[in-house]
Structure 1
Amino acid sequence: MTAATASVHPTVTPDDAARWPLPGSGETRKRWTQLTNAARRDLVGGRLLEAHADAVAITAELHGPQPRPGELWGVWAAEPPAPALTARETGDGYVLDGRKLWCSGAHSCTHALVTARVGDDRALFAVDLRGPGTAPVPDTWHAVGMGASDSGAVDFVGAPAVRVGEPGAYLTRSGFWHGAIGVAACWYGGAVAVADELRRRVGDDPFRLAHLGAVDAALYAADCVLEIAADEVDRDPADGHAARIRARRVRAVVEAAATETVDRVGRALGAGPLCADRTHAQLVADLTVYLRQSHAEDDLADLGTALSRPDRRNS
């Protein structure tokens, strides 16, 4: 694999993202604002920057190898029932074998943080994708929305890897949930970009104005939730149970606002921009797919579970 960091985002580089404040550092709102702004300008590029910035935060929290200037890191942590990526320990460290799905930046990332099975446990590993034993799998990414994110499968065959943290640490740390809100900050940026099209075309049509008002109210609510959540994270970044509830709430509110925005902009403007404006049409397709990083009712059920069991911590 070769690096393609220059094409990640038109104005922000991975090196810029690596310098953003870490979650819980006292400037979490600034971090999420940077993500929102990047996604508003370029949703796919913002999504790749979000992963790189998350990798910086993860490796800092779990004392793993830090991303270096000129590198682009992905976080490949999807765990479908099959296929399974496994790790085995050798005299020289760990190696990874198997196929990993949903690998955003499969061809452009220089490194990745990858979850893999170690016996009955799941652990996180850092992999230099420029080394031996890794290869993107052709013809495994057919998406129209988020097509440019290049999120196909990657095969690992004896790929050298460095374990990051103890088994299970990636999921049980409170920072996992702070990172989940970073994704929502990108959703919000994409939704604002979709709404920009309505702002440009609203004119004095009363129905378009009504849709604009509703969109503005929904996005204002999302922005307020992100601001409140950032303050809460900075006050107590280590409370994993609160972080889980907070992330589920924020993602639900932002997803609802983004979904309403896509729907209302389409109803207000009709099919014209979706059919005649390639940039807008691609943005709507990208955001529609990106929002499905939410697991919908499954995530809401998890929120309900967390609320009904206040004695559970980091679960």
Structure 2
Amino acid sequence: MVSIGPARGLSADAAAEPAAGDDLAEAARSASGEWPDRALGLARRLGTAAPFPGEGRTAELWELLTRLGAADLSVARVVEPHLDALAILRQAGLGQPEAGSVWGVFAAEGPGARLEARRDPEGWRLHGTKPWCSLAGGLSHAVVTAHTGPETRRAFAVRLRHPGVAVRDGGWQALGLPGIPSGPVEFDAVPAEPVGPDGWYLERPGFAWGGIGVAAVWHGGALGVARRLWAAATERTPDQIALAHLGSADLALGTARAALAGAAAAVDAGQAEGAAGALLALRARGTVAAAAETVLAVVDHALGPAPLAFEAEHAQRVADLRLYLRQHHAERDTAALGRSLLEAGERPW
């Protein structure tokens, strides 16, 4: 079975480790240099120090994710699910994962792929295929959702280095996040430890909080792209159109920052559970996604084709952010927000 130790506390010294923005940004940039070992090492280090959501320091956690995203989205894409997995284990009342482990969270479903959890005399085992398992070949463990019946699913903690786990080539061709392949993983009678009862993974308040944490990374990615616009504006005297582009980017980023700050305050105040938490997540994620897409468009218009064609760092940032933003389901998530507003039964504005 998966080794889960006693619940860990968060010491004041450890919590202070990721607080220095410049040091964290430099660590993220350095982590992208020897891929993916350094990124996985940074995830391990931050996993011992970062705050947990909903425990009074959610804004610090999301600011950490924002800073990582602004420095390097691929590195942030490694760290964010590791921190999310640790939070999930904590929310389930489980303990600290074994030392040196790096975790992912695999909860997506897809056509033609089904992962089932079956119980035998020795415990739970996973059988089948899980799609969209990002960087599975580099991780040691994951929180994975699996079907326990025709209409039920449950989360499980699994060791990805078990001989029954096979990471398959999913044909990853993305220009964005090229170092984070996200393909199928096959499980053949792999031991698994339950993480909460059936349905708990989606029903827990932390599900909404984790989704907003992803949005904090999007915000960071947008900041990284927008800083190229700022550099251009300071290199030569901007005309009225350039000033308008700069102002538009600032408005979008400020809206995203305010949405994340307000969401963090609500989470720590106990106002983001159940339907309220789901509504908050839809609003925050939608606001940040829209702001990031605005920044991408504004920077494209302001700078033209040259940075995309001749500056590898900027072109990669843009490609990474465009792909990462597709974790937001665009109009479908906006429709879900509208439905949630109606179901709340009160006029929202």
Question: Shorter-normalised TM-score: what interval?
Answer: over 0.9
Alignment counterpart, residue 161 of structure 2, candidates 124, 127, 130: 130
How far apart, in 2, do the equivalents of 1:236 and 1:290 lie?
Answer: 29
> Which residue identity lines up with residue 106 of structure 2 in the other structure?
W
| RMSD of aligned Cα (Å) | 1.7
The corresponding residue for 1:48 is 78
Deviations 1:141-197 (A, max 9, x none): 221112211212111111111111101000001110000000000000000000011
The corresponding residue for 1:16 is 46
How far apart, in 2, do the equivalents of 1:17 and 1:192 lie?
Answer: 24
Contact 2:43–2:102, Cα closer than 8 Å, also in 1: no
Residue 227 in structure 1 maps to residue 261 in structure 2: yes
How many residues align? The count is: 308
The corresponding residue for 1:103 is 133
How far apart, in 1, do the equivalents of 2:123 and 2:95 lie?
Answer: 15
TM-score in terms of structure 2 length: 0.84
How far apart, in 2, do the equivalents of 1:212 and 1:283 lie?
Answer: 18
How far apart, in 2, do the equivalents of 1:288 and 1:180 lie?
Answer: 17
Q: Which one is further off, 159-168 or 57-66? A: 57-66
Percent pairwise identity: 43
How far apart, in 1, do the equivalents of 2:61 and 2:224 lie?
Answer: 19
Contact 1:74–1:109, Cα closer than 8 Å, also in 2: yes
Matches within 5 A, 1:153-172: 153-172=184-203
SS in 1 for 2:134: coil
The corresponding residue for 1:309 is 343
How far apart, in 2, do the equivalents of 1:153 and 1:96 lie?
Answer: 14
The corresponding residue for 1:175 is 206
Mark the runs of 5 or more structure 2 residues left unpaired by the alignment.
Answer: 1-34
Q: CA deviation at 1:281?
A: 0.7
Q: CA deviation at 1:273?
A: 0.7
SS in 2 for 1:48: helix
SS in 2 for 1:273: helix
Q: CA deviation at 1:267?
A: 0.8
Q: CA deviation at 1:13?
A: 3.3
Residues 238, 60 of structure 1: alpha-carbon distance in 2 compared, 3 angstrom cutoff: farther
Residues 163, 26 of structure 1: alpha-carbon distance in 2 compared, 3 angstrom cutoff: same
Q: CA deviation at 1:132?
A: 1.9
Matches within 5 A, 1:235-246: 235-236=269-270, 239-246=273-280
How far apart, in 2, do the equivalents of 1:5 and 1:89 lie?
Answer: 35
How far apart, in 2, do the equivalents of 1:262 and 1:68 lie?
Answer: 40
